[in-house]
Structure 1
Amino acid sequence: MPAYPPEPWHLAGQMFLSLWVVPKRELPVLPDAVTPLTVAGRAVIGGAWVVYEDDSVLRYNELLTAVLVRDGMRPRVTITDIWVDSEQSRTGGRELWGIPKDMARFAVTRGGARTTLAATEGTPLASAVFHLGRRLPGRWPASYHVCQTLDGRLKTSPVRCRSTLRPARGVWEIAPRGGLPLPARPPAFSLCLQNFTLAFGSGGQRA
């Protein structure tokens, strides 16, 4: 019996997301079956800190980078680098979906509309401060698919999410030798998905 929950994983918590627009040549390695979604030779890469808490099937912290890609003409997301502080999450992510999770230590500090995050894997990976703006009214639904390589084949997994949205100003510090493939310059856009609920993987519809 696996030491992690079966899919789908029902998760809840806080997500702090930043997006950069970069030349295609600056992207990290992607699965062979997908192509970066580009405009005028430029692509979108995101960095996200996630705190899974509350009613999550697993509670842990996460730092990831992802690229907007296409599978044929269908828009998708590919996770290129990711760290967590849960052995169950690392094993389950790798075995269920081909997500290349590694382990790291995290620190999260919250105070008012400011959240500070940091991650290290022996050497520092990154730190960030998110200054949150006003909450947008309502709870916003989103659905998309994540594409990864699992056992030599492309694995496509649905994600369904609902959250409160707060525009943010994300200030990142990327460790030069940490392995996080994000630009050193400020992001083009940042957002907090506050008190989200999320279903990752096949089966079930609650989110």
Structure 2
Amino acid sequence: MSTAPRPAISPHAPGVVPLSLFGRVLVVSAFVDYDSTGLLAYHELMVAVVVRKGFRPGLSITDIWVDDETSQRGARAMWGIPKQLAEFTLTAGSRFEATAGSIATAAEQPRRSPALPVRLTTSVWQSLAGTAVRTPLRTAARVRLTRLRWRVTPGGPLTWLTTTRPRLHLAVTDLRMRFGSP
């Protein structure tokens, strides 16, 4: 999680406003490896902004890449999530490293910290056919502190992240997620 200057962020959904603190907004970025225990197995690089619509807090996904066309098409059609295709390289083991095409790379430098169970219920706000659409998001996972070294490709689509200041790095495992209504 990091903070970015407010002018760098423009959520896509009408009426959705970035939450700001001292003129900066919270930005969440993640590399995700969805394995075959879910509906689809694919990789993802996502950047989202913490937002609100009225008094309802949530996230708005500003940039996202996946390596699965079914995931891309479904997310765009059902929820207005602007998924694009990219190639991914993941190296697992004692040190995680992920690269999304020529967009960005993240390398983990593990820390010794306990993995704690966390549950989160929130919303994702996106624009679909010019309307703000709220999609419920429920998660349960084990979360631990870690260190990540991000490298954003200069001149690439995430160059705006070079103005951010990372505040918190988390490793999430055993993720169970329900996106949308049952």
TM-score higher than 0.5: yes
Is 1:187–2:169 an aligned residue pair?
Answer: no
1:34 Cα deviation after fit: 0.4
Unaligned runs of 5+ in 2: none
Aligned mates of 2:15, 2:69 — CA distance in 1? 29
Is 1:94–2:69 an aligned residue pair?
Answer: no
- Residue equivalent to 2:178: 199
* The one of 57, 65, 75 aligned to 2:47: 65
Is 1:167–2:145 an aligned residue pair?
Answer: yes
* The one of 134, 157, 164 aligned to 1:156: 134
Aligned mates of 1:37, 1:184 — CA distance in 2? 17
**What SS does the aligned partner of 2:92 have?**
strand
Unaligned runs of 5+ in 1: 1-18
Instruction: Please tell me the residue identity of whatever aligns with 2:96.
Output: T
TM-score (norm. length: structure 2): 0.93
Name the structure, 1 or 2, with higher relative contact order (CA <8 Å, separation 6+). Answer: 1
- Residue equivalent to 2:154: 176
* 1:98-109 correspondence runs (5 A): 98-109=80-91
Aligned mates of 2:123, 2:107 — CA distance in 1? 28
Misfit runs of 4+, over 3 Å = none
Aligned mates of 1:170, 1:186 — CA distance in 2? 13
1:142 Cα deviation after fit: 1.0
Q: Percent of aligned pairs with the same residue?
A: 35
Aligned mates of 1:79, 1:142 — CA distance in 2? 17
Conserved? CA contact 2:14–2:130, under 8 Å: no
* 1:14-25 correspondence runs (5 A): 19-25=1-7
TM-score (norm. length: structure 1): 0.82
- Residue equivalent to 1:47: 29
Aligned mates of 1:138, 1:36 — CA distance in 2? 28
1:140 Cα deviation after fit: 1.6
Aligned mates of 2:11, 2:17 — CA distance in 1? 11
CA-based RMSD of the aligned residues comes to 1.5
Aligned mates of 1:186, 1:40 — CA distance in 2? 14
Instruction: Please tell me the residue identity of whatever aligns with 1:105.
Output: E
Q: Report the CA distance shift for 1:40/1:103 in structure 2 as closer, same or farther (over 3 A).
A: same
Instruction: Please tell me the residue identity of whatever aligns with 1:117.
Output: A
Aligned mates of 2:173, 2:60 — CA distance in 1? 22
Higher mean Cα deviation, 130-139 or 79-88?
A: 130-139
- Residue equivalent to 1:38: 20
1:90 Cα deviation after fit: 0.1
Q: Deviation digits for residues 20-58 of structure 1, max 9, x if unmatched?
A: 112211224532310110112111112111100041100
Q: How many equivalent pairs are there? A: 181
1:137 Cα deviation after fit: 4.9
